[in-house]
Structure 1
């Protein structure tokens, strides 16, 4: 019937014609989804200033005519880790995914998390004070019979009139072994027109309660892991919160390692871009000389037009390579801007970064056993996964302890009182409430146990099985992480040997191509050889020189990768991780609290949980695992000399 009525009602409303309210647009139409600009307070920082001070970018300008900003690798890394609270990356994902950016605030945010931080977990053991005070007025007519003849009508209650007040106060405290204590004080006031001993009376009591879990929820181990009164399967205790904070610190350290690796990558990329530009400029100048020489021969009637066209084509080919190595996506200016972003400088400020740290060409041999041992113990990924395993072990312990019935001991003691006044100097038993309570004439107590057990303990058993599976999973992930690290370290060691061998091979190839160009140039000028061989040799020497510089940079990147894989990249680049300065009030509070905290003399009588860590760990501590041996005889030119070379060899466009 209800369904039929509703259907009929809908049909009636469908036949109602639209009114003015259906045709006139509302004031709020298209208002909620309107695009607006946010109004927020912003402050000027070095990062915002760097964004606002960028000038027009460079594309094909002569690098030798741009003021140089000489920068070493150590200085670049220092600028990168000190300039901004956001840990930058080469990809620049901060715009597309700002929530995924790593910052220096992340460890502090994990500590100050109001839901899962250590302070939030400790707050469960804080004393709780609750208080309430209410007044109410009752004025209700009563269903009283008529007064019999001769009976005073005033004695019959026709209307119930009461004025009441209630005050409740409680101080409760949760302890680490699961016990809870409470001290309560209740005061009730009642003024009524009923026939009672005191028309205006105060009643109340003072009681103390102690509840002690004997099975489920008992013990310091469970309460420090899961937290007091935690539901089955939820673990938010102090020890879990501490491990979560350690994991956040490990994530921050991993982000710093990635930042340092990105800065070093960008630095060596900039170094090789200078060298490749130098090689292309030399190839362009050699092609220009060949082209001009062929023009002279053609004008003198000794040359051929096809050879002159080939020389001209090769000149423009090298010229395009110079322009590409300057303003291309992998050119000098693009790679210099990438390094600028990582170290927090404006995209362009009228200066050009000149790397001052020379890439090493010395053969470095690492001790494999030492490096492997360091990688399996010092890598931040291994330490982070070990913390996760430790967390799962504690959760399994709490789940096992929680698979028990609930059995609580309850003890309560109460002092009651009653009086027509709240406080008075009279000595009567019921003259005032507090005198009656403190007199101790009315005392009550209660003691007993409460038992509660879900038949079968299904939820607790499932939580125990879930915790066991989580532990097995984390242990498997830890083992796989160690295996992956050993493979990555092996690849990094192989790359060191390979890149150094390629460095020597490409150097020998470069020297051979130089000798070939000298021979073919003399033979071409003597007229005993074709120009094609000379042009091909000029292209080969530029290619071999560029490959040699790339091999030199790849070797230095391989050394960086090896340090990263074995967990010593921060020490290799002299980067230290330390906690920032506290507020002045925090130091004062720590000093005052520390005065009241003294260690126990007899340590054997102190019951302490198993420590979570083995002590402090310094990821930036130096580790000796490499031995430099004799290097190759090549000494690369200083990058600061590239500007002088370009200034001397830059040639204007040929008309």
Structure 2
């Protein structure tokens, strides 16, 4: 009971080797979080959106998300996942090992001490004795076997048996006997063919394949999953960045509302003290002040406040939750109208989306499986051949006398004793029920994956249409909220003058002050939503990595990898004559670079820039002009390579 209570039911910590990494250091050095501190008194760390993207990509061995859940070892996506798949039994190297030469060797000693049921009379002593077989034996077997990509099997086998016994009528009391043989087996029906063996591999079960082509698809699917996680990380970083930018603007708007409410309350309090005001009006002004004060506090420390959103961005960047500094976005949001050519965007979405590419790999896998299943629905017919050189001798090596059987290897070298065999082996399960079931299942699996591919493309087209609509709507809402904000500013100015003159009630002024804060908040939120809508459209058409100039690259090679590649390349002979080249059906077409610059074909209307542009706005033709009205230049923000002279966007300052 003492072991059960004190040891068996205890919870213990595993003793593991922990590495000192920047991520672990960031977790251990986290300071106390900010709650309601004044942001202006906290040192700021200016950061542009490209800098945030670079930091997130460099500090994400485990791909993070805005959900900020603790990652699990089973479901977490990391930079090591593609390599783990490639180095597992699902990778190409493991599949190629099915064709490696196999060498086996065995050496066994044994003795025999067996009495025989035979009566022998000893005439000298008139006794009956029982003979006993006594021997010392050794058996050595060595084999080198190789399976080829066409299904053939070659084997070189060597067997040596040694015996030293007391059996009567023996030429030698001890002898060596054995042979050296070569064997070849070539499937003619089931198991034959280059394409079939590259799909099936070493599997003996119909419908379950682990060949090189299947392993190649496994690695490509792992890369697609990794690319999808990088796309999601980039989308989350951009969302967190613009949300933080918006939080700064919302905090500023609420602070301005609080300051205006405080001035109104102070003015009303003075009027009340001199007897010119009313207590209910003073209470209303005070209530509005505290209402804005609560909004400021919520914008600072609330779940969607400045500090919470700053911490989310820190998490995505691999930084500590708090370190005494405050991240401050310095990139200006896109405030111009961005238009996308619909046909180009749709074609890119259906071709470049990682989900489509991943599903096409699944379709290709099912095509391979159906091909293998159909070839597997055949009987087994193998052509076999064997040639053997036998040897026998009193000694293993050398010639000690003129006896023809003095040396074992000398006998083999003479080649006087040779054997051969050739023939066919045929086998077939009557009915081929399992093979027929595998064909039917492979056919249904292929139809299923094709249906999912079509459904994926349909869903992407609908999502792209929704995001294209959202981009247009977000821009129009941004313009509308901006015009509303300008109108509310003029309304406050007029009502404040009338209130100070004593010709208007305070209720109208307080309502206008609330309205101007609400319209300013709505404007900045719509501006942030517009930039996120552009991001969503890039996500849907598969160009987000190119939009943010993110490139996927393989890590550094291990030591000696370049030398191995060079040595393997020595066996590759270039063929200039197409008739000399024999190829199986290709798995993929041309290479795909998700970070390549895309040409969408969008038209650009060149117009003269306006005199001053603080924000693009549009005014209906039948509405009175509000402030300065400006034309809209229709461009698409085109990502460019680093070092290029082309600006990443067209924007008027």
> TM-score under structure 1 normalisation?
0.90
- Between the aligned partners of 2:202 and 2:224, the Cα distance in structure 1 is 28
CA distances 1:534-590 after superposition (whole Å, capped 9, x unpaired): 111111111110000000000000000011100111111000111111012111111
Report the CA distance shift for 1:166/1:497 in structure 2 as closer, same or farther (over 3 A).
same
- 1:41 to 2:17 alignment: yes
SS at match of 1:365: coil
- 1:223 to 2:223 alignment: no
The answer to whether the 8 Å contact 2:199/2:212 transfers is yes
Match of 1:210 among 155, 169, 184: 184
Corresponding position of 1:314: 288
Match of 2:36 among 60, 82, 87: 60
The answer to which of 321-330 and 432-441 deviates more is 432-441
Corresponding position of 2:109: 135
SS at match of 2:339: strand
How much does 1:602 deviate? 3.3
The answer to whether the 8 Å contact 2:182/2:386 transfers is yes
- Between the aligned partners of 1:429 and 1:118, the Cα distance in structure 2 is 53
- 1:165 to 2:138 alignment: yes
- 1:192 to 2:177 alignment: no
Report the CA distance shift for 1:337/1:591 in structure 2 as closer, same or farther (over 3 A).
same
CA distances 1:263-305 after superposition (whole Å, capped 9, x unpaired): 0000000010000000000000001001101110111011111
Match of 1:376 among 347, 350, 353: 350
- Between the aligned partners of 1:276 and 1:397, the Cα distance in structure 2 is 61
How much does 1:147 deviate? 1.7
Corresponding position of 1:183: 156
- Between the aligned partners of 1:315 and 1:86, the Cα distance in structure 2 is 46
Corresponding position of 1:512: 487
Match of 1:453 among 428, 431, 439: 428
Report the CA distance shift for 1:291/1:169 in structure 2 as closer, same or farther (over 3 A).
same
The answer to whether the 8 Å contact 1:371/1:566 transfers is yes
- Between the aligned partners of 1:635 and 1:137, the Cα distance in structure 2 is 101
- Between the aligned partners of 1:469 and 1:173, the Cα distance in structure 2 is 35
Question: What RMSD, in angstroms, separates the aligned Cα atoms of the two structures?
Answer: 1.9
- Between the aligned partners of 1:279 and 1:152, the Cα distance in structure 2 is 128
How much does 1:152 deviate? 9.0
The answer to whether the 8 Å contact 1:68/1:353 transfers is yes
- Between the aligned partners of 2:130 and 2:615, the Cα distance in structure 1 is 112
> TM-score under structure 2 normalisation?
0.91
- Between the aligned partners of 1:540 and 1:369, the Cα distance in structure 2 is 42
How much does 1:150 deviate? 5.3
How much does 1:425 deviate? 2.2
The answer to whether the 8 Å contact 2:111/2:136 transfers is yes
The answer to whether the 8 Å contact 1:157/1:194 transfers is no
- Between the aligned partners of 2:341 and 2:494, the Cα distance in structure 1 is 45
- Between the aligned partners of 2:546 and 2:65, the Cα distance in structure 1 is 20
The answer to whether the 8 Å contact 2:120/2:131 transfers is no
CA distances 1:162-216 after superposition (whole Å, capped 9, x unpaired): 2111110000000111000000001111111221222211111111100110000
The answer to whether the 8 Å contact 2:119/2:130 transfers is no
Report the CA distance shift for 1:26/1:309 in structure 2 as closer, same or farther (over 3 A).
closer
Corresponding position of 1:399: 373
CA distances 1:437-476 after superposition (whole Å, capped 9, x unpaired): 1221221111111111001100000000010011000100
Match of 1:635 among 603, 614, 619: 614
The answer to whether the 8 Å contact 1:127/1:174 transfers is yes
Unaligned stretches of 5+ residues in structure 1: 1-24, 638-655
SS at match of 2:17: coil
SS at match of 2:246: helix
How much does 1:157 deviate? 5.4
Corresponding position of 1:20: none
How much does 1:94 deviate? 3.3
- Between the aligned partners of 1:63 and 1:32, the Cα distance in structure 2 is 53
The answer to which of 28-37 and 127-136 deviates more is 28-37
- Between the aligned partners of 2:326 and 2:598, the Cα distance in structure 1 is 35
How many residues are treated as equivalent by the alignment?
610
The answer to whether the 8 Å contact 1:80/1:344 transfers is yes
The answer to whether the 8 Å contact 1:276/1:325 transfers is yes
SS at match of 1:163: strand
How much does 1:428 deviate? 2.7
CA distances 1:448-506 after superposition (whole Å, capped 9, x unpaired): 11111001100000000010011000100000000000000000000011000000110
- Between the aligned partners of 1:419 and 1:29, the Cα distance in structure 2 is 71
- Between the aligned partners of 1:152 and 1:349, the Cα distance in structure 2 is 108
- Between the aligned partners of 1:28 and 1:182, the Cα distance in structure 2 is 57
- 1:428 to 2:428 alignment: no
1:103-122 aligned at under 5 Å gives the runs 103-113=78-88, 115-122=89-96
- Between the aligned partners of 1:152 and 1:81, the Cα distance in structure 2 is 100
SS at match of 1:584: coil
Report the CA distance shift for 1:152/1:480 in structure 2 as closer, same or farther (over 3 A).
farther
The answer to whether the 8 Å contact 2:203/2:210 transfers is no
The answer to which of 181-190 and 594-603 deviates more is 594-603
How much does 1:52 deviate? 1.1
Corresponding position of 2:415: 440
SS at match of 1:373: helix
The answer to whether the 8 Å contact 2:352/2:542 transfers is yes
The answer to whether the 8 Å contact 1:93/1:101 transfers is no
Match of 1:267 among 222, 241, 252: 241
